[in-house]
A and B are shown apart, each in its own frame.
Chain A
């Protein structure tokens, strides 16, 4: 029972362009949504989050969009930088959830 899906295992983008990472979920009870970034040999690092009462949250180059009716979450990075190259996980949780449920991850490669 895969509640959270990231259908693109990898994404390649040129420096300066926009990176769009997507996440789909099935359980409408989730009401808090996060993105984590992971470099090799390190643990996941929190990047940005959004609650279900919003549809957009922006932090510098990073913007998260939430479409509750479509059960879809996306992360936009603009402009993309080579240092953004990492694996990105969406994670879902919220009221009534004691834990986060993670997607399978998307490996982003930003080339100079």
Chain B
């Protein structure tokens, strides 16, 4: 297993365009998280899946954001009508729920979004 993979690593887009990020978690992990990190801040929680069910969404996740995890495997995060304030690093993480390991998230390298 190569860990958590995210694609693309970098995305530059114009304001108003839609973007989609993909995350492939560690295969045996049933929990998948999306976080966002801006300069000088720590990662901020966006949303969380257990298997295919989206169990929690942050207030940070406006209606322009949607996340899916079909079949409980990979996940996508789509941002519609991007705004300059969406520029950030989008981090995906996974963990194995059900025990102490549930708290230890393994992160991918992130997808950096720049909205011009």
With an 8 A cutoff between CB atoms, is B65 at the interface? no
User: A100, B103: Cβ atoms under 8 Å?
Assistant: yes
Query: Whole-angstrom distance from the CB of B107 to the nearest CB of chain A?
Result: 3
Q: How large is the interface on B (under 10, 10 to 19, 20 to 34, 35 or more residues)?
A: 20 to 34
Q: Which of B41, B42, B43, B110 has the most CB of A within 10 A?
A: B42
Query: Whole-angstrom distance from the CB of B108 to the nearest CB of chain A?
Result: 5
Query: Whole-angstrom distance from the CB of B38 to the nearest CB of chain A?
Result: 11
Cβ–Cβ < 8 Å partners of B55 in chain A: 98
With an 8 A cutoff between CB atoms, is A104 at the interface? yes
Contacts A41-B109, A44-B91 known; A104 to B41 CB distance under 8 Å? yes
Query: Whole-angstrom distance from the CB of A86 to the nearest CB of chain B?
Result: 14
Q: Which residue of A lies closest to B33 (CB)?
A: A99
With an 8 A cutoff between CB atoms, is A13 at the interface? no
With an 8 A cutoff between CB atoms, is A25 at the interface? no
User: B56, A98: Cβ atoms under 8 Å?
Assistant: yes
Partner pick for A105 among B42, B48, B106, CB 8 A cutoff:
B42
Can you give 19 contacting A-B residue pairs, CB < 8 Å?
A6-B42, A34-B103, A42-B109, A42-B110, A43-B108, A43-B109, A44-B43, A46-B105, A89-B42, A93-B103, A94-B103, A98-B55, A99-B45, A99-B56, A101-B45, A102-B43, A104-B40, A104-B41, A105-B40
Please list the residues of chain A having a beta carbon within 8 angstroms of any beta carbon in chain B.
4, 6, 9, 32, 34, 36, 41-46, 49, 51, 89, 91, 93-94, 98-105
